[in-house]
């Protein structure tokens, strides 16, 4: 009587592994397309473009610091040298070019079409952040022509700040494609902390805009 061979072949083992995976984990036969939902399997921080721009603007850029921190944290295990994600996030303007180039290179390595010019997007972001912060701190009495009022400076600063969100959204579009998550479903919902940030930031924006309006209408006493 012959004994049946119970040894599992490599092909059968692979099939069993695939069967045990959830649909969220297995999305393509291409290894570059297989991305797990856990952050340890992702190269870069997943977030929908809409959520990114909403939280970035309403938090006056604070969410951008968090965005840089999460991306550098995910890159830490893949880098030969040790980095400090917190420092690179707080001083993000000094590391924006390197991060954007890494994301662009990752897209090239996976034969993905570049969705952005890394140097251009990084330069726009850094310039917008720096100029916006400078204008925000400069007053009429510190060398600015008298033809420019404080309100004008604030409005210009806010417009430039809004422009700084554009490079982040462009880069995030490529990140989501690298994560095989074009629509950003891995992180598109808002948490309780997100809502708290939205409410707080929304109130600050409202107070700022009302203050500008009141000042322009002469409702605020002159100093």
Closest by CA position to 101, among listed 75, 133, 73, 67: 75
Q: 128: pLDDT confidence band, cut at 50, 70 and 90?
A: very high
Would you state the structure tokens that stand for residue 219, as one six-digit string? 């409702």
| pLDDT recorded at residue 12 | 46
Q: Is the pLDDT of residue 139 over 50?
A: yes
Q: Is 82 left (phi over 0), alpha (psi -120 to 50) or beta?
A: beta
Ordered DSSP codes for 191-205: -HHHHHHHHHHHHHH
| pLDDT recorded at residue 143 | 53
| pLDDT recorded at residue 140 | 45
Q: 212: pLDDT confidence band, cut at 50, 70 and 90?
A: confident
**Contact status, residue 65 vs residue 189, Cβ threshold 8 Å:** no
Q: Which residue has tokens 């030969």?
A: 80
Q: How many CB atoms lie within 10 A of CB 55?
A: 21
Give the 3-state secondary structure of residue 88: helix
**Rounded to whole angstroms, how far apart are CA atoms 118 and 217?**
43
* pLDDT tens string 35-84: 344 444 788 999 999 999 999 999 999 999 999 999 999 999 988 889 99
**Mean pLDDT (whole number) for 81-106:** 95
* pLDDT tens string 163-197: 999 999 999 999 999 999 989 999 999 999 999 99
Q: Which residue has tokens 């059968």?
A: 12
């Amino acid at each position: 009587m012959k004994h049946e061979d119970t040894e599992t072949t490599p092909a059968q083992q692979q099939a069993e592994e695939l069967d045990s995976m959830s649909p969220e984990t297995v999305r393509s036969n291409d290894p570059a397309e297989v991305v797990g939902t856990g952050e340890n399997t992702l190269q870069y921080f997943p977030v929908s473009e809409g959520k990114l721009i909403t939280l970035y603007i309403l938090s006056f850029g604070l969410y951008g610091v968090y965005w840089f921190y999460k991306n550098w944290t995910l890159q830490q295990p893949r880098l030969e040298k040790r980095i400090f994600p917190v420092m690179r996030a707080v001083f993000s303007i000094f590391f924006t070019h390197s991060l954007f180039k890494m994301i662009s290179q990752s897209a090239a390595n996976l034969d993905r079409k570049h969705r952005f010019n890394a140097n251009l997007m990084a330069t726009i972001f850094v310039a917008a952040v720096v100029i916006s912060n400078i204008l925000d701190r400069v007053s009429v009495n510190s060398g600015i022509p008298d033809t420019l009022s404080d309100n004008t400076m604030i409005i210009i600063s806010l417009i430039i700040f809004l422009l700084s969100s554009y490079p982040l959204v462009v880069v995030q579009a490529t990140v989501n494609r690298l994560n095989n998550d074009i629509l950003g479903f891995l992180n598109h919902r808002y948490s309780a902390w997100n809502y708290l940030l939205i409410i707080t930031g929304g109130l600050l924006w409202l107070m700022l805009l009302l203050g500008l309006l009141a000042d322009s209408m002469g409702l605020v006493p002159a100093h």
